[in-house]
Each structure stands twice: as structure tokens, then as C-alpha cells.
Structure 1
């Protein structure tokens, strides 16, 4: 961004917006600027700076009873805690996020929180993780998101035997997604066909 001949980075713009909002005692703008600056800092790898800014946005969103803002802040806090290696805090944020996002009408955000929770908690409680996958399916259905709904159906099918939950979580942790699961699910069938030839 170029203003009056000066080049501004997005981070510098968010910092300036935050300063102006604080000087003007405008908490609504301060919250939005905190959110944007926090997201930029997270992207730059400044986890502690991002954490403080997202906590401030969460505080402001709660004060204004802004459920969408609270959901956005909690989604960012989850990412920060996960990158910091604080699994317990990440799980706590996700658990609250799925409820707040659903109350805010952010059904895909709530669905994704269920999926992330299932992946993070499967080692402690596979039965609960499978229930979370069912929540992922139901929320995706309510959001009319056929892509997520199809993914959820396959995941529930794989996890319903409980012994598959470990593999399901591993695939998603590695970012390979639903296509890898489908490939893996059909592998024994394909191998069996080759054996018959």
C-alpha cells in the first residue's frame, strides 16, 4: 500500500489502525485491528505477539457479545496454541469454539472445530473422537456443505470400527485429507483384485 508516497506493509497499516483506535478509545475498531494484526503476526511467526492480540480481540468480542468475533478469535488462538505446542490449550479453545461458532451461525467453522478436536483427542478417547466426527457430519449437513459432508461420512465409516481412528487422525495431521483416506480405504480391495489375476 502506498500512501502519500510512502510504502506501507499490511502489518504497519494494522499497527497504525490499532494505535489510532486506542488513542480514540474505540474498542470496536481496536478489536478488529487487534485481530488483523494478530493474524499478520502469526503469519510472520511472532506467536507471543499474536497471542496477546488475539486475547485482546477475544476480550473485546465478549464484552460486545459478538459471537462471530469471539469465534474468529478462538479459531486464531487455536492455531497459535497448536504452533506453541500447547495441546491442552488448543483443545480447550476448540471445545469452546465449536459451541460459540454454532451459536453464531458459523456452521462450517463449528464443523471444522469438531474435526480438529477429533484429530487432537483420538488417543485419549476414541469413542468421543468418533462422536466429534459425527458432529462434523451433522454440522456440515446443516451448512449444506456437500464436500465436508462427504468427507465426514467417509471418516465416520473408517472410524466406526474404532481401530481405524488412529489412521484417520494421522492422515489429517499430515494434511493429506480425504483423498488419501479414500485411496487407503480401497487399497486392500485393489490389492485383492491384483492377487486374483
Structure 2
């Protein structure tokens, strides 16, 4: 929150005001950033339709200015919105575009995370492709010199390499338990009991 002349402004109110000013001044660059920030704030409070419209506006402006980083940021949020709306197909489409745009923009971590999210969302339709996406997650994490993600990716690939494990790997992420839950199972004796624990 921001306090101006004794009045408390929420972040949403500040972004709304910034958006109004940008539109009034016909400044599309500022309008795009304000749309992104306001859309992200609306997503956080559960206004999915409002967030969706704002992120699409930011995407449109980013593409007009050939701003790949802006496009990557908007597509990352769009994929989250579509997942929350239950539109898995649209979320997958956004993530698929995101991994390429982010890589071209030099946002290697964002591209890596898109691969991981795609693997989780697509494993039911194609476990082989999901395993390839995990390999992409590993390779991009390595390029970014992110040892934490690289180690996590290696564990995920190891767990999913038998393909029968991919379902369990994805389920852990869907339930929000994350990589640390999988790290507990990295030793062979523990993996044998995975079917009972998940």
C-alpha cells in the first residue's frame, strides 16, 4: 500500500490510476506495463476475467513494440490464468509459445520453468514428450547456470525415466508439493514405495 497525503492507496488502485493516466496520455509503453501490473494484481485477488483482459492487452502492446521480454512476461501470467480457469489446452498453448519466446528474449529461467510446467500439464497425453520436456528443463537450467534447478531437473528426469514414474512426478507438482517432496524419494529403496506414498 502507498500513503499519499494521508490517503492509503492499494497496489491495485495505484495500477488502475497509472493505467488511466497512460491511456489519457496515449503512452502505450506505460499502458502496457500498467496493464501487466494491474492484471497480475487482479489475478492475485481472483479476478481471473479482469486479469485475462489486461494480460492480453499487455501482450498486444509487447508484440507491437517487438518486446520479447514483455511478451514472455505476459504469456507466463496468461498460462497461470488459464490454469486457474481450468482451460488446460489454452494454458499449454501459452506455455509452448512462452518457452520459445523466453529463450529468444534471453529469459532462460523462464523458458526452463515453461518446460517444467508443460511436462506437468502434458504427461497424461504423452509421457514420452513430457520426459523430453523435463530434459529441456535440465538443459535450459544448465545454460542458465542455475545449479538448484539443474539438480532438481536431474532428479525429475531420473524419476520419470521409467515413464511409469511420470504420473507420480506430475501428481506431486499438481498438488503443490514440489521438488523437495521428490528429493525425499531419490534413493532407490524409497522409490520402490512411491506408489503407496503418492
Q: Which moved more, 1:182-191 or 1:64-73?
A: 182-191
Judge conservation of contact 2:185–2:194 (CA < 8 Å) in 1.
no
Tell me, in whole angstroms, the C-alpha distance in 1 between the residues paired with 2:197 and 2:172.
29
Secondary structure in 2 aligned to 1:2? Answer: strand
Judged with a 3 Å threshold, the aligned counterparts in structure 2 of structure 1 residues 191 and 169 are, in CA distance, closer, same or farther, namely closer
Judged with a 3 Å threshold, the aligned counterparts in structure 2 of structure 1 residues 194 and 163 are, in CA distance, closer, same or farther, namely closer
Large movers: runs of 4+ above 4 Å: 189-197
Judged with a 3 Å threshold, the aligned counterparts in structure 2 of structure 1 residues 44 and 114 are, in CA distance, closer, same or farther, namely same
Instruction: For residue 193 of structure 1, report the CA deviation from its aligned partner.
Output: 16
Tell me, in whole angstroms, the C-alpha distance in 2 between the residues paired with 1:195 and 1:120.
23
**Unaligned stretches of 5+ in structure 2?**
none
Instruction: For residue 178 of structure 1, report the CA deviation from its aligned partner.
Output: 2.0
**Residue deviations 1:72-105 (CA, integer Å, cap 9, x gap):** 0000000100000000000000000000000000
Judged with a 3 Å threshold, the aligned counterparts in structure 2 of structure 1 residues 194 and 41 are, in CA distance, closer, same or farther, namely closer
Judged with a 3 Å threshold, the aligned counterparts in structure 2 of structure 1 residues 108 and 192 are, in CA distance, closer, same or farther, namely closer
Judge conservation of contact 2:32–2:57 (CA < 8 Å) in 1.
yes
Return the index of the structure with the highest Cα Rg: 1
Judged with a 3 Å threshold, the aligned counterparts in structure 2 of structure 1 residues 11 and 157 are, in CA distance, closer, same or farther, namely same
Judged with a 3 Å threshold, the aligned counterparts in structure 2 of structure 1 residues 95 and 14 are, in CA distance, closer, same or farther, namely same
Count of aligned positions:
197
Tell me, in whole angstroms, the C-alpha distance in 1 between the residues paired with 2:31 and 2:60.
11
Q: CA RMSD in A?
A: 3.4
Instruction: For residue 5 of structure 1, report the CA deviation from its aligned partner.
Output: 2.4
Instruction: For residue 68 of structure 1, report the CA deviation from its aligned partner.
Output: 0.3
